[in-house]
Structure 1
């Protein structure tokens, strides 16, 4: 089974301001209500692994599958047989500001059932992210 979700928001913040928050996992709990803590075992680059503590608390392994500095990262969480991939993309827009897109794909047994729970806070997280970036 596969579940997919995508959301895009526009902001007056420059892509660099969004990237600054994304590439510093210590800020994630500030703007993402589903995240309590993130510990990476290395720099914010492709292939780095670590542990993410989600609300619950639930500790899950996390890996950075794709990192394109300044514009994109894809992280992967593994919860038993479920694999959750969250793709984060920021693009500049004409006249200034950015377009921010976050896409979530969940694969495995029960993906359709857990998907809405996993993505429930996505709109809140995106709004908090752009608000923080706009204040930076």
Structure 2
């Protein structure tokens, strides 16, 4: 398995605000600069499947492999000869903030090829996307307050 990138941020938004954004996949392009659209085939639950369309790339099927509300959301995209995994973790800190971390890995016999194709862009945008997600989560939480 190849670690492609890691991003982390601290937010004032509650973990549930992040899960609300992740569950509302149609809005992902608001904070994920590389995503044209995302469709989930049913409710946001472990085992759910969907399709993601990166800007300038082909549609990619994915599965919600792990879903622990308030703690972890892991999705796996099936690429030819490889699996691209985004593991999203949230944790409430003692200070009352939320620590959010995203780890991206590639595994499979064609992982080196996919790393050459996707790795640089993922590394370049992951932190920016997470920062935008935190801003959206915080603004949505403030709007509800």
State the TM-score, normalizing by the size of structure 2.
Answer: 0.86
Question: Residue 73 of structure 1 aligns with which residue?
Answer: 73
Q: Contact 1:26–1:37 at 8 Å: present in 2 too?
A: yes
Question: Residue 85 of structure 1 aligns with which residue?
Answer: 85
Question: Residue 18 of structure 1 aligns with which residue?
Answer: 18
Q: Which structure features the higher share of helix residues?
A: 2
Pairing 1:121–2:110 present: no
After superposition, give the CA deviation of every residue in 1:43-96 in whole Å (9 maximum; x if it has no partner): 111111111011114210111110111221100112211210000011111222
The residue correspondences of 1:1-136 to structure 2 (distance < 5 A) are: 2-107=2-107, 108-113=111-116, 114-136=118-140
Q: CA RMSD in A?
A: 1.5
State the TM-score, normalizing by the size of structure 1.
Answer: 0.91
Q: Contact 2:4–2:122 at 8 Å: present in 1 too?
A: no
Unaligned runs of 5+ in 2: 141-145
In structure 2, the CA distance between the partners of 1:5 and 1:63, relative to structure 1 (3 Å rule), is same
Q: CA deviation at 1:18?
A: 1.4
Unaligned runs of 5+ in 1: none
Q: CA deviation at 1:111?
A: 4.2
- Runs (4 or more) in structure 1 with deviation over 6 Å come to none
Q: CA deviation at 1:37?
A: 0.9
Q: Distance in 2 between matches of 1:76 and 1:95?
A: 32
